[in-house]
Structures are given as C-alpha cells and as structure tokens.
Structure 1
Amino acid sequence: MKNFDSRVYSISDFIEWNDSGLLELSPDFQRRDVWSEKAKSYLIDTVIRGKPIPKIIITQRLDGSRNVRVVVDGQQRLRAIIDFYLGYFKINKAHNAEYASMYYDDLPDDIQREIKKI
C-alpha cells in the first residue's frame, strides 16, 4: 500500500513545474478548462487577500527520468492561477477595486512576490 504525505508547495513551484513541462493539468480523467474569467478573478482576489483555498491534490509519475506532477484535484484553481500569472486575464473590479483591471505584471512587486510565496 502506498503511503501518502502532505507537502506544502508554493504557487511559484506550480509555475516552475508548468514552465518546465513537469505539470500535467489535463490527465485523461480531468474535464476541460471550464471556469469563466469572473470565477478565475474571484480566486485570484482570494489569493491576494491571503484567504485559504482548498487543497490541491497531485500525484507523480515518471516520464523517463523526469518526475511529472499530475493534478488529481484542483485543475481549475491551478489553471486560474497560472493563467493570471501568464497574463491571460485581469482582476475584475467587482472582486477587488484596488487592483481592478490589473494583470499579474501590473501588480506592485511586493504583491507579486506574496502571490508566488503562497
């Protein structure tokens, strides 16, 4: 029987894995990307405010000598975070008036660093 462990990863870990091809967001058992920009913006506001978000569950598989992280639960949340980081959408004014209409790169540097540390 496989033992499970709980590790804490930061948003920067997931971004790094995604950038290097070591994160599989869409394994066969996952549905496609379905969250609207509004839903994604709401999650980003939650992250900026430092509020808790549900755990993300991943497993690992070897791809040759590379350890690939496969998302079991949390695909929509991770997509929202990664898409925001990549500049695919901006924060909705209804969710956060202070950072309304800002993309990740538009945020103050200290906020960007805090997001990546979470």
Structure 2
Amino acid sequence: MKTMPSFSREHDFAEHDDGQPDFAAIARSAEFVRLRKQVRRFVVPMTLLFLTWYLSYVLLAAYAPEFMSRRVTDNITVGLLLGLSQFVTTIAIMIGYRIFAKRRIDPQVKHLRDRVGAN
C-alpha cells in the first residue's frame, strides 16, 4: 500500500492495491463525520415533519370524515385540498433539499473528493 496525500491533517490514508482510496478510513475521518451530521440535521427534521403531516392527514380522514368532507366550493372538499397539499409539501421538501445540498453539501463533497483523489 502506498500513502496518498493527507485527506485530514490527522490521518494519512493509504490506497488499496487497485489504486482506490481507503473509503473505510475516509468514512471514519472527522471531516466526513461532520458532513454526515450536517446532512442529518436537514434530513431528520424534514422527515419527521413530513411523516407527522402525512399521519395527521390519514388520522383526519379516518376519524374526522365530517371535517374532511366539508365543501370549500361545489366540488372541492377540505380533504381534497389537504390531500393535494401532500404533493405540494413533497415538492417543497425536495426543492429545499436540492438547494441545501447545492449550497452546503456539494461544495464540501467536492473538496473531500479532491483531497482524496477520488473521481
């Protein structure tokens, strides 16, 4: 195994015989761990928010049919609007994650890949 340039100031990561970086060592590095924490700080709250919202919709449909069947206009009910808003919420979370990843995650990933020499 030959030694690559330092990925982290605390470690020198060796290449495998096939010329690939030691991804297990990279995954244990402080920089990668910080990156994963940053991703989790976005993903976990958004997942919990969406699951709570979705479960609320399901519970309202099951236990509050009179509320869900209230008409907003002739053919549009509260249940239909809340159901369609599930799609809007999904799209909003997806766009939010895309913006988050492009601004915060992707530059760090590129930096880490450049330091390791991974293409």
Bigger radius of gyration: 2
Higher percent of residues as helix:
2
Q: Does TM-score exceed 0.5, indicating one fold?
A: no
TM-score under structure 1 length normalisation: 0.27
> Higher relative contact order at CA 8 Å, sep ≥6: structure 1 or structure 2?
1
